[in-house]
Amino acid sequence: MQQRDISLCTKSSQAIMASKSKQPPHFLLIPLMAQGHLIPMADLAKLLAENGARVTLITTPQNTSRVNSLLSHPNQSQIQVLHLQFPPHQQSGVPQGCENCDSLPSLSLLPKFLSATSLLCRATEDLFQQLSPRPSCVVSDTALPWTIKVAHKFNVPRLVFYSFSSLHLLSMANLRAAGVIDKIMSASESEVIVMPNLPDKVEVTKPQLIFTLDAEFMELANEMNKADQASYGIILNSFDALEPNYLEEFKKATGSDKVWCVGPVSLCNRDTTDKAVRGNKAAIDEHECLKWLDRQQPGSVIYAALGSLCNIVTAQIIELGLALEASNRPFIWVIRQTEATKNQLEKWLSESGFEERTKERGLVVRGWAPQLLILSHPAAGAFVTHCGWNSTIEGITAGVPMVAWPLFGDQIFNERLIVQLLKVGVSVGVEKSVVWGGEEEIGVQVKMEGIRDAIEKVMDGDGNKEMRRRVRDLAERAKAAMEGGGSSHLNLKRLMEDITQAEAREA
């Protein structure tokens, strides 16, 4: 892997004149600066490079360290990571030094953060002109609609990368097509809403959709949708056999046959080291973590992690800790460190004696944990998750049943997929989406007893064996999809061939 600043990107005229017909396709990847988007895009970079493509991934300096460890192997020399300076506070309105969504002091600043990324458009165009060989296409995160301008300016295809479920994507497409968003917004909070035109009956309530249909977010979502519809094709971090009916209906909704499932992309991390370094720097030593897991019985450990943007109040986090203690089972509890909760939670942990009481069977991780390493260990028995798509598909790929605790956005639909459609987990019983900036108003939604009962159903409840059989079957299908001749492997090959042919037509 090469790592350079844009100012150092100079190429010889001889390289520029090289014959395109003899060169592999060159993918320019532009991820959103958020862990749930940056990590799978880096995994995609590895997969493309492994299959012979050249890859350039651009991000900001502070985010480089989050992908360096993923992309630093000698066999990934076809990948280069380039820097663009994040717009200064005076231009962006984003606090200085906040270059990733998880570094924002309040998630209410996310719309401003997303808008600020558009200020990178001109610098991206300048970088594009300096790259050699010339990029064959742009692969953009859906949250960066301005990248369509870059693709159009240089007459290359834009591919949108979704790390979402087909259920969520189809649900949003159907809501737009049915024109019922205003009706939903005027509905009462108790009214049950049946999502239109889905293969199965999927019900939600207004409080669960309120984040997704927020006016400010909808304005951004409309910009994203417009850019996505104008794009050449779609790449999904999923596999064909996971939710086939929803995938086929989503393809119909897009009106395009250029939809490629190439995942689960996390499976490109095959050895212990890759799994340990994926994402941010772990707050626990990988060897100590593995030693602890090795001491546990197979299928006995509860792994609880509510994501890199977890924004529930301290009192709710404490209820989760008490539920893990009450389970009387070994557990790993990952706590996201935020300014809003750090002092309060640390005070409770210190004064309550929680860690002392549970030290023989519990690990408390403050910050980032090596999630793939933990989930893929034989000791993992249940995953208490916020139902972000990366965590959802990683849990499925590891064959670990889930306790579903969605917080906002697409997580609500992923919970329905886990519990209702795939039947590989149980719901913790959340009734409302968390609104960024309004966390205190929502407060505690689920008490210790409810969390403990959900854990018990996954670990030892009626239907437990059948649930584990289903998730293990899906895990085998996921692995088969990524192997040579599997659906995702073939889809990636077809994607690369398509881009090569599109480039030849434009030559």
Look at the alpha carbons of 355, 358, 360, 363 in this order and tell me if their dihedral is positive or negative.
negative
Q: What are the two backbone dihedrals, phi and then psi, of residue 485, each rounded to the nearest 5 degrees?
A: 90, -10
Other C-beta atoms within 10 Å of 369: how many? 23
CB 430 within 8 A of CB 302: no
Give the CATH number of domain 275-479; options: 3.40.50.2020, 3.90.1170.50, 3.40.50.2000, 3.30.70.20: 3.40.50.2000
Q: Closest Cα to residue 25, out of 481, 493, 489?
A: 493
Query: One-letter amino acid identity for 124?
Result: T
Question: For the residues of 317-345, what is the DSSP string, one character each?
Answer: HHHHHHHHHHTTS-EEEEE---HHHHHHH
3-state secondary structure of 80: strand
| Secondary-structure breakdown of the chain: helix, strand, coil percentages, each rounded to the nearest 5 | 50, 15, 35
Tokens representing 121?
Answer: 């458009």
User: Along the 507 residues of the chain, how does pLDDT read in single tens digits?
Assistant: 544 444 334 333 334 334 445 689 999 999 999 999 999 999 999 999 999 999 999 999 989 878 876 666 655 679 999 999 999 888 888 998 899 988 888 878 888 999 999 999 999 999 999 999 999 999 999 999 999 999 999 999 999 999 999 999 999 999 989 888 778 878 888 888 899 999 999 999 888 887 666 677 778 888 999 999 999 999 999 999 999 999 999 999 999 899 999 999 999 998 888 887 776 667 788 889 999 999 999 999 999 999 888 778 899 999 999 999 999 999 999 998 776 667 888 899 989 999 999 999 999 998 889 999 999 999 999 999 999 999 999 999 999 999 999 998 899 999 999 999 999 999 999 888 877 666 677 778 899 999 999 999 999 977 789 999 999 999 999 999 999 999 999 999 999 999 999 998 877
List Cβ neighbours of 38 (8 Å cut-off, separation of 6 or more).
31, 32, 59, 63, 66, 67, 100
Residue ranges covered by each domain of the chain: 275-479
Q: How far apart are CA 383 and CA 476, in angstroms?
A: 18
Cα gap 469→381, rounded to integer Å: 13
Establish whether the linkage from the previous residue to 31 is cis, with ω within 30° of 0.
no
Burial of residue 504 (number of CB atoms within 10 Å: 0-12, 13-18, 19+):
exposed
